[in-house]
Each structure stands twice: as structure tokens, then as C-alpha cells.
Structure 1
Amino acid sequence: MMKSMIIFFLMFIVGNFIFVSKHKHLLIVLLSLEFIVLVIFFFFVFILNFFSYNMYLLMVFLVFSVCEGALGLSILVSMIRTHGNDYFQSLNTLI
């Protein structure tokens, strides 16, 4: 049990490190967010199975994570249509 908690924590730290580090592409940031959501989902599954609770919370969590992914993809598509790429450098609010 303790080994799996350490693995979940390390995966969460790696996902957060990728998210906070400076990347040029929006797609990498969105993929790191999905990785963090996946780690949190596995953590919820582990904890709820350990305490023998119902899994209804997981369905709500999955619904919100799918909505977050769809919103991120729509932002990515609209950014590529307007700017031609997904670089953060092309996002200038002054122009």
C-alpha cells in the first residue's frame, strides 16, 4: 500500500513539474493536465477500494475530466485556426 502511494505521489509531482516548466506548445501543457487528472483518478480508485466505498464519485470525476479535455481541445483548435500554430509566443494580447 505504501509503495503505491509513493508511486502516485511521484507521478503527480512529475505531472506538475511538466505543467509548470516552460514549454512552447499548448498541446504539451494539455497532455500534462490530462496526466495529472489520470493520476488523481487512479488515486481515487485506490483510496475508494481501500475503504470499500461506492464508486459514484468516480463517475462525476470522469465527467468533469472529459469536459476539461474537450474544452482544452476546443481552445487548441481555435488557437490553431486563428494563429496557425500552438506556440505560446504567438499569443500576444497587445496586437
Structure 2
Amino acid sequence: MVMNLYLIHSLYMIICGMFMFSSKRKHLLVVLLSLEFMILILFYFLYMFMNFFGFDFYFMMIFLTLGVCEGSLGLSILVSMIRTHGNDYFQTFSLLQC
């Protein structure tokens, strides 16, 4: 019963994150924030799942490390895009200029 509530809560938050990812795709920063939100929700669900079944939390540390690496890579791409193009709009970004 408790696991079902956590599952429903996690799925609702993932759907909200996917909606934000698909509806606010004009700026790269908003896209990166919605992706980071979905990673945090997956981390929350993984924590509840492992806590409910009594598993070891070693895999969670690996998942959290990869999430931090993904966030720092996204921020470095954002900084590089702002330095070269002056803003983070996807309309002004062209792959032919790189």
C-alpha cells in the first residue's frame, strides 16, 4: 500500500517533468532544469524502492554520481553556447556554425 503511494507520487512527478521538458523547449536552461528534476525524481523512486525491499544503497551512490556528471556536462554546454552565441535560444543555434 505504501509502495503504491510512492509509485503514484513518483510517476506524477515524472509526468510533470516530461510535460515541462516538452512544453518549455525554447531555452536550454529550462530544458536542463527539467532533466535534472527528472533525475532527482528517479533518485527518489530508487531510494524508496531500495528502502522498501531492504537492498544495499551502493547503486544509489553510483546513480547520484552519474546524475551529477550529467548536470555538470549540461551546464558546461550551456556556458559554451552562451559564450559563442550570446544566448541560450535554440532558434539561434545552428550546427553549421560549429
Q: Give the structure-1-normalised TM-score.
A: 0.94
Q: Any residues of structure 2 matched to 1:70-81 within 5 Å, and which?
A: 70-81=72-83
Unaligned 5+ runs, structure 2? none
Q: Any residues of structure 2 matched to 1:10-89 within 5 Å, and which?
A: 10-89=12-91
The runs of at least 4 aligned residues of structure 1 exceeding 4 Å deviation read none
1: CA distance between counterparts of 2:64 and 2:5?
Answer: 25
- Percent sequence identity is 56
Q: Which moved more, 1:44-53 or 1:11-20?
A: 11-20
Unaligned 5+ runs, structure 1? none
Report the equivalent of 1:8: 10
> Once superposed, what is the RMSD of the aligned Cα atoms?
1.1
TM-aligned CA deviation for residue 22 of structure 1: 4.6
* Number of aligned positions between the proteins: 95
Q: Give the structure-2-normalised TM-score.
A: 0.91
